[in-house]
Amino acid sequence: MIRVLTLTSLALFLSFSGLPTPAKAQQTQVGSAIAAPLPEYLETFRTRLEQAASDNRMVGLVAAVIQDGEPVLVFSHGEAVAGQGEAVTPQTLFRAASVSKTFTGTLLAMLEEDGVIDLDDDMPTDVLTLDGTRPPTLLEVASHRTGLPPNAYDNDLEAGQSVQRIRQRLSGVDLICPVGDCYSYQNVAFSTVETLVERATGQGFDDVVSQRIFADFDFPRASLGVPDLQAADAWARPHRGWRRTGNTAGNPRTNYDRLPSAAGVNVSLEDMIVWAQLQLGSRPGLSPDVRDRAHSRFTNTVRETRRLGDLRQRIDSTWYGLGWRIYDWGDRTIVMHSGYLSGYGAQIVLEPETGFGFVALWNSDNRSAWWLWPTLMDLHTGDGEGNWLDSVSLD
């Protein structure tokens, strides 16, 4: 198994991005990577990253920590394809899975600021009809307040049924609460925002995302869809199976590819760092109004809070914004999202008030990676020992 450990300051990220490296940056050679001295809590977190990487289900893992709006640690471990010798790097493309919703939500806030859409408008009934006393607004759809049962008809999507047919069938689903009254996470219903974006802009949804976000904000490699993923110079293959005994790469295609707004984005670690900096405001591009709109607490996600288990020791309440989750970690506000897509995982965790963040991507089913962000938050805040990984079996 190839393993490349990188400890980095801004100097290393700039070198990856083809930008000039600050002449005064302290640099130390670690294998083939440049490293700078780290704060003590990051040295401890690096040890925890190594612990997660030692999980025998791990294939490839890339992660970065951002402090004061700038990357201070970059970690790369493993392979793009198990056993084939191609190391994952900050340039390797992964699937963002449901982290794609953060791109969609931010785009909606941008289009609203431009006056192109109004998030308080009702969804047209020819796009989405529900069995309620009124139609949901675009804002309610994007913040998961449709009243539909959670993940409505995802099973039919996974079985290969057409997205249009599934959307039509939503009109006959009994709601679990009146429209706008409760949280219920959606994929198929969420994806109806694509039609609204297309009608408002006169362009395909993929084209709008590619131009308004990837191109306008100078993302290094981000794209949409499996064809663009497979056309990249370096991309990680998925490795599926929570009890996997072998490491056979799978096909990245899934039926969720038909929902680009909910699960279609491809990103490298470099792209995730750019996205984090845009959301933190340390990189120009997004106005404060757009960031505030996307990160607003629109939906109280009580069910999500209950599902956190032991993490409720740290997290008091949870919310959903425009494609973003908002967690109250004590008196700190965390803006985040996670994503899973059959052999891929992704996370972005931000504390906008302080410019702190964590991003990670991986290409195998494993439990260790999911516990990295609370580990880092413990160490960053001093609220705990950062020992969340100790309860995860690595066998």
Q: pLDDT band at 392, cuts 50/70/90?
A: confident
pLDDT (mean) for 93-103: 98
Rounded to whole angstroms, the Cα distance separating 25 from 12 reads: 9
Rounded to whole angstroms, the Cα distance separating 49 from 38 reads: 14
**What's the pLDDT at 386?**
96
Q: In this structure, how many other beta carbons lie within 10 angstroms of the beta carbon of residue 165?
A: 10
Q: pLDDT band at 36, cuts 50/70/90?
A: low
Q: Using the predicted structure, report yes or no on whether residue 127 has a pLDDT greater than 70.
A: yes
Candidates 11, 20, 110, 73; CA nearest to 322 is: 110
**Domains of the chain: which residue ranges?**
10-105+203-391
**What's the pLDDT at 394?**
62
Span 244-303, pLDDT tens digits: 666 789 999 999 999 999 999 999 999 999 999 999 999 999 999 999 999 999 999 999
Q: Report the 3 state secondary structure along 59-86.
A: CEEEEEEEECCEEEEEEEEEECCCCCCC
Q: pLDDT band at 75, cuts 50/70/90?
A: very high
Interacting residues of 254 by C-beta distance below 8 A, sequence separation 6+: 158, 263, 341, 342
Give pTM, 2 decimals: 0.91
Give 10-105+203-391's CATH code, choosing from 2.40.50.100, 3.30.465.10, 3.40.50.410, 3.40.710.10: 3.40.710.10
Q: What is the mean pLDDT of the chain?
A: 91
pLDDT (mean) for 81-94: 97
pLDDT (mean) for 6-25: 34
For residue 99, what are the CA distances in angstroms to 24, 91, 95, 174, 211?
35, 18, 9, 28, 18
**What's the pLDDT at 246?**
67
Rounded to whole angstroms, the Cα distance separating 83 from 249 reads: 10
Q: Using the predicted structure, report yes or no on whether residue 69 has a pLDDT greater than 50.
A: yes
Span 128-155, pLDDT tens digits: 999 999 999 999 999 999 999 999 999 9
For residue 195, what are the CA distances in angstroms to 128, 190, 339?
10, 11, 23
**What's the pLDDT at 247?**
73
Q: Using the predicted structure, report yes or no on whether residue 31 has a pLDDT greater than 50.
A: no
Q: How many C-alpha atoms does 336 have within 13 Å on its Cβ side?
A: 25
331/11: higher pLDDT: 331
Q: pLDDT band at 23, cuts 50/70/90?
A: very low
